[in-house]
Amino acid sequence: MMAGDVVGIWEVALSDGVYRIEFEHGTATGKRVVWINGQEVLRRDWMFKLVGKETFTVGGMETKATVNIEAISGFTYEYTLEIDGKSLQKFIDNRSKVTKTWVLQGEFVDDGTETHFTVADHDCCIKALSSGKKRAGIIHYLMVDGEAVPGWTD
């Protein structure tokens, strides 16, 4: 039924029943999809603007509902559902939680910089060293368990 881009789920009690509203937001494509009780009610496959509003109706009384999409910072978005102009719970979706993100810290050494990290119990290091030649600039080496990986220099 749904892809992995569902970023907000709200349970809304109206006079004619409880409705489950799910909002799908593809932050790479701008895709927006609204599902009510498992039924797709709104779809926009390509949106160049990643933030904004989507308005639709819920229930037999066609109650006005709006999903507000706001960028907080970087790849973090906040989703708020309004029913008849009243705000419900906010959902904050931080893409860095679901994507592979590494924060690495390079350190200065005598002949350049080294960035250390571990992959599957292997000690790895990217060394950035001066070539000593103005035109060649900086040379990068990948080291795994203390050995330079052959053919991996820039």
Tally: H helices and E strands in the chain: 1, 13
Confidence label for 1 from pLDDT (cuts 50, 70 and 90): very low
What's the half-sphere exposure (Cβ side, CA atoms, 13 Å) at 95? 12
pLDDT tens, 51-98?
889 999 999 989 999 999 888 877 788 889 998 888 876 655 554 444
Q: How many domains does the chain have?
A: 2
Confidence label for 8 from pLDDT (cuts 50, 70 and 90): confident
3-state secondary structure of 153: strand
Asked whether residue 1 is assigned to any structural domain, the reply reads no
Whether 114 and 143 share a structural domain: yes
Query: Could you tell me which residues are beta bridge partners of residue 40?
Result: 35
Sign of CA dihedral 42, 44, 45, 49: negative
Task: Find out whether 54 and 42 touch, Cβ atoms under 8 Å.
Answer: yes
Q: Give the pLDDT score at 153.
A: 58
- Nearest Cα neighbor of 7 from 24, 32, 19 is 24
3-state secondary structure of 96: helix
pTM score above 0.85:
no
In which element (H, E) is residue 95 found? helix 95-98
- pLDDT: is 21 or 110 the higher one? 21
Question: Is the model's pLDDT at 150 over the cut of 60?
Answer: yes
Q: Give the pLDDT score at 132.
A: 78
Residue 25: CATH number of its domain = 2.40.128.180
Q: Where is the domain boundary, 98, 124, 142?
A: 98
